[in-house]
Amino acid sequence: MRRHSTDEITSKVKQAEELMARGQSQAQACKVLGVSVMTFHRWRKQEAARGRPANGTVAEFAAHTEDRDGTPPAPSRIDELRLENERLRRIVTDLLLEKMKIEEKLALRSSGGSGLPRRGEVQS
C-alpha cells in the first residue's frame, strides 16, 4: 500500500473532479488515478476538513442555492419544506398503521377467528 503526500492527494482529487466534470463516472476517474473509490471519498473528506471543499460539499451546494443577488434562500421556504416533510411523515405513519390493522384482521380471519366478515356474512 502506497502512502500519498498531501500535495499528491490534493492534485489527484482535483484531477478526478475535472474528469467527472467532463462526464466520466466516479469509478472511471478513480481507475485513471489508480485508487479505489473509497480512497477517493476519504481524500475528499480530508480535503474538506483542511478547508478546501470539494465538489458536492454542503458549502458549495449552499453557494449554488443562493439567489441571484447573493442572499441565501428565505427561511420561509425551508420552513415550508419542513412542514411538508412532517405532514408526509404523518401520512406514511397513518397508512402503515392501517396496513397493520388489516393484516391482523386477515390473520384472524384465516385462523378462524372473528376478523373481517366472510363473503355473505354481515358484520355486527
pLDDT mean for each 10 residues of the chain (124 residues):
83 89 88 90 85 54 53 75 92 94 92 63 58
What local confidence, expressed as pLDDT, does residue 57 receive?
43
Which helix H or strand E contains 39, and what residues bound it? helix 37-49
CA distance 16 to 25: 10
Domain ranges, ordered by start, for the chain: 6-64, 74-112
Cβ contact 36:30 at 8 Å: yes
Sign, Cα dihedral of 102, 107, 110, 115 = negative
The pTM of the full predicted model, rounded to 2 decimals, is 0.41
Cα-Cα-Cα-Cα dihedral sign, residues 36, 38, 40, 42: negative
